[in-house]
Amino acid sequence: MFKNSRLAKSVKLACAFGAASAALATPLSAFAQDDDSAEKVEKIEVTGSRIKRTDIETSSPVLAIDAEAIRSTGFTRVEDVMNSMPQIEAAETSFQANGATGVATLDLRGLGANRTLVLVNGRRLQPGGIYSQAPDVNQIPTALIKRVDVLTGGASTAYGADAVAGVVNFIMDTDFTGLEIQAGAGGYQHDNDNKYIQGLMDDAGYDYPSGGSGLGGESYNLSITAGGDIDGGRGHVTAYATWRRNNEMLQGERDYSSCALNSTATACGGSSTAVLPNIYFTPNVYDDAGDLSFDDEVLWSLGEDGLFYPYDGSNLYNYAPINHFMRPNERFTLGAFAEYELSDNATVYLETSFMHDRTSGQIAESGTFYAEIYELSYDNEAGLFSDAQIDQLLEEFGDLNSDTFTAQIGKRNVEGGARANNLEHNSFRIVTGVEGYLNDEWSYDLSYMYASTSSSSAYINDLDISTIGPRIGAVGTTCTDDCLYYNVFQPYGVTAEQAAQLSGTAILTGVTSLIVYSGYVSGEFDFTVPSAETPVAASFGFERRETDYERTADTIYQEGSLAGQGGPTNSLIGNYEVNDIFAEFSVPILEGVAGVDMLALDLGFRTSDYSTSGRKNTYKIGVDWSINDDWKVRAGFNRAIRAPNVSELFAIQSVGLWQGADGCAGDDPTFTYDQCAQMGVTESQYGSINDNPASQYNEFTGGNPDLEPEEADTFTLGLVGNPFEGFDFSIDYWDIEMEEVIGDVGAQRILQICADTGTFCDNVIRGGSGTIWRSEDEYIVNLSDNVGGRKWRGVDIDATYSVDVGEGTVMVNMIGSYNLEKEYQPLLADPEQNYDCSGMVSVDCFAQPKWRHNASVNYTLDDLTVIGRWRYFGEVDIEGGGQISSYSFFDLTGNYAVTENIAVSLGVNNILDKEPPMVDSTLATNANTVAGFYDTLGRYIFTNVTLSF
């Protein structure tokens, strides 16, 4: 056993690597076990290892956020708290509407939420919903979090697959005693004074808000926690119930999001699917192959006077204001943690949790979106065309001796109201097991976990394409009984009743489940290496995981009947199992000599047998060198893997949308004719291919049952020091290199590779007019495979300084991350396609700056604590020119203990009301911003009251 001096040194050093916080630093002694014994200290388990230790040292860098730090941010959503850390990029958040999954996910290092393993008390959190197979952290009640450990390095040896970027481990307060009630409220405020975008909207004739916004997007939260001993202290039970509600905010509530910027951020864009429709008319002339020719196609706009005019680009619809900037959300959670000592060597435990969550992602009204080609007659039997309009068409096409013509309609369904995806999730998780001691040196833990999430999606108020033809008099269709004609060819001729008959609702339901059987032993042998006094420690265990995923789509989804969905949404059913055996060793090599207080070697190995891809092995080697009481060096190498999930393996291949640009479209294409000719563009089409005003195009995607697990090698090297009293720091270099990466090349990149090299050109399937967006028969083939790699490198820095000032204490903390390299390798076989996203934003690169930090100053005086924070984002280059300048956000929070039982906090985040940087339509994740990463809605004001008994 280690002596108390060893523990004291551990606490002293670990302030730098175990108590860092995005808001403030907390002395790690709060995490250690109190013990007055001079010889024996209780062993604890640390994140990243199953070997129970007498201290919290580890060869892997671990950052931690404690409960007080979380409360001081004022956030009630876990993802908001975690996304404020420099090591984490925004993934799924409440600031997404179009394509929202309804879940909240974490993306450590920007390697993807599916490569960040999320744990609760050291055990996996199940996948989140029908659109996402990453864990949904909505399931985690913020009020019950004791601390969050973030292990920034591969950890597959300890926890199995998915821990490529690292681990986020939520440690819950299972030992809570007493009764605590927390109630809080918050909201966003902003001064709308962005003259640049207001000028653009004036030019476009769009409305926008100005001046002070008042409080919006209000949030309310209530939590009740109770806990206490039972049966004379042999057992303990903690129970909780929480409620949280966030009101919606629309993009029209901020001037900087009241219109969608164009692809160069120089003007307000809009959709040609407008209130007064724009229509492609084509004579019924067929080419030699029997296909409809679009060579004589015209695009006309319906004028206020009822006549058609050549489209000049001005008839646009500003779809931005009605979109959600922040989705509404209501969530209930409840659960309990219990343990009971059956004997000195056996304690049974139980963890249960339940969550009910509802949200809605609202976007602009649906439309016809040029989705179908309708054959119409000059005879005008439906009476929808005026005589003057027929005369215009006959004059344009009448000499072609055809009785019919075709139309593709771009009409916005403003008469029918906004679209919305109503999302609901219900999750349940239960863990039960028994732990205890086999003897004085060896402990055991056997557990069973069942976790399941049922979810549903009801997509409402989208136009059902199949209902439109009969209602516009399409040849071969009939509008009878209560069918109302869709009077789309007359100015403002569509009524709410007509629009209601076109509305469709699509339903998805899903169930995902995770079953885990696990057991391990941990302890010390009765031998040492000759040069050390501390025994060799080890852990041995097994784990079996069973993952099932089922998503059922109704007929409307499967047929792709809704105009605004961009293609079919298919059902998905799949499962896989994995059996793991693992072992870890902690081997003290040298101890108690000059320059070496302790040199220990950490070793680990896990073999995993997957039902889908066979056997894979992972391993780790770590070095923990404590030089003396004030300095230590740590290093580690990990082989990590990520197995393909059910969607990647079994998803049906289908057509969907991607956001970007077609270099062969427009009057002045960015690709040359020779480049475009390689992808099927004719000489007559070049320079006249219609671009999509919304920058959305079709791609053909789907799963691949032959996928192999991804592999990653991660390396870390760090220095931890306490050079003088009150000051602790750590600096860690990290390197992650992946291969066999599961993914697709990317539709945009396929176009570029084809243009540059002539390869992948067969993947570009263009329509008759040269477009890749106007029908589901034209797309980019972009299927998943083990094709790529990743190479990430960077440095993390954490420093804390604490000093007494007068009667109080000042603590200064800074945690930062510098990205040295962020190289994507789309095709390992073609290094010329590699690109570095470090400090760069593009359609392929998230806007993560090279340097990002959080700094805080914490002053405590008796019952008062005041916290000031500085969150800094370094500059980011925009591919092709331009730059997002550096950004600083400042926060201020005050906490005051009014009485022994009552505490009050009040805070303002982004106190200077700094707007997020605006980016163009190809780079924005929502509302002209990188939503959920930078402060998105302006100033956030919050308060919280805690009653403790």
Rounded CA separation 605/586 (Å): 12
SS3 569: coil
The total of other beta-carbon atoms located within 10 Å of residue 172's CB is: 20
Joined together, the tokens standing for residue 856 give 């805080």
Q: Is the pLDDT of residue 642 over 90?
A: yes
Q: What pLDDT score does 58 carry?
A: 67
Higher pLDDT: 353 or 33? It is: 353
pTM of the model: 0.87
Percent of the chain with pLDDT over 70: 93
Rounded CA separation 105/130 (Å): 14
Q: What pLDDT score does 21 carry?
A: 40
What does the mean pLDDT of the chain come to? 90
SS3 173: coil
Percent of the chain with pLDDT over 90: 76
Q: Is the dihedral of CA 805, 945, 939, 107 positive or negative?
A: positive
Q: What pLDDT score does 532 carry?
A: 94
- Owner of token pair 């004997």: 343
- pLDDT band of residue 689 (cuts 50, 70, 90) is very high
pLDDT tens-digit series, residues 761-798: 999 999 988 999 988 899 999 988 898 999 999 999 99
- pLDDT band of residue 57 (cuts 50, 70, 90) is low
- pLDDT band of residue 652 (cuts 50, 70, 90) is confident
The phi-psi region of residue 744 (left if phi > 0; otherwise alpha if psi is between -120 and 50; otherwise beta) is: beta
- pLDDT band of residue 22 (cuts 50, 70, 90) is very low
526-531 average pLDDT score:
94
Joined together, the tokens standing for residue 603 give 């070793």
To 5 degrees, how large is the angle CA 923–CA 927–CA 933? Answer: 70
SS3 71: helix
Domains and CATH numbers, the chain: 4-255+326-363+422-459+508-648+707-746+782-948 (2.40.170.20), 277-314+369-410+465-501 (no CATH)
Higher pLDDT: 29 or 475? It is: 475
Cβ neighbours of residue 421 closer than 8 Å, sequence gap 6 or more: 100, 102, 360, 361, 457, 458, 459, 460
Output the DSSP codes for 645-685.
Answer: -HHHHHPPPEEEEEES--TT-SSS-SS-HHHHHTTT--TTT
Joined together, the tokens standing for residue 639 give 């082989």
Q: Is the pLDDT of residue 33 over 90?
A: no
Q: What pLDDT score does 289 carry?
A: 64
Q: What pLDDT score does 54 carry?
A: 58
Q: How far is CA 222 from CA 51, 176, 732, 832, 936, in A?
A: 37, 17, 39, 54, 24
Rounded CA separation 72/859 (Å): 13
Q: What pLDDT score does 710 carry?
A: 94
Higher pLDDT: 750 or 53? It is: 750
Q: Where are the beta strands (DSSP E) in 806-886?
A: 808-825, 835-836, 840-841, 851-861, 864-873, 876-878, 883-884
- pLDDT band of residue 294 (cuts 50, 70, 90) is low
- pLDDT band of residue 654 (cuts 50, 70, 90) is confident
pLDDT tens-digit series, residues 107-160: 999 999 999 999 999 999 998 888 888 999 999 998 899 999 999 877 889 999
Rounded CA separation 66/47 (Å): 14
- Confirm if 137 and 118 have CB atoms less than 8 A apart: yes
Q: Is the pLDDT of residue 74 over 60?
A: yes
- pLDDT band of residue 445 (cuts 50, 70, 90) is very high
Cβ neighbours of residue 881 closer than 8 Å, sequence gap 6 or more: none
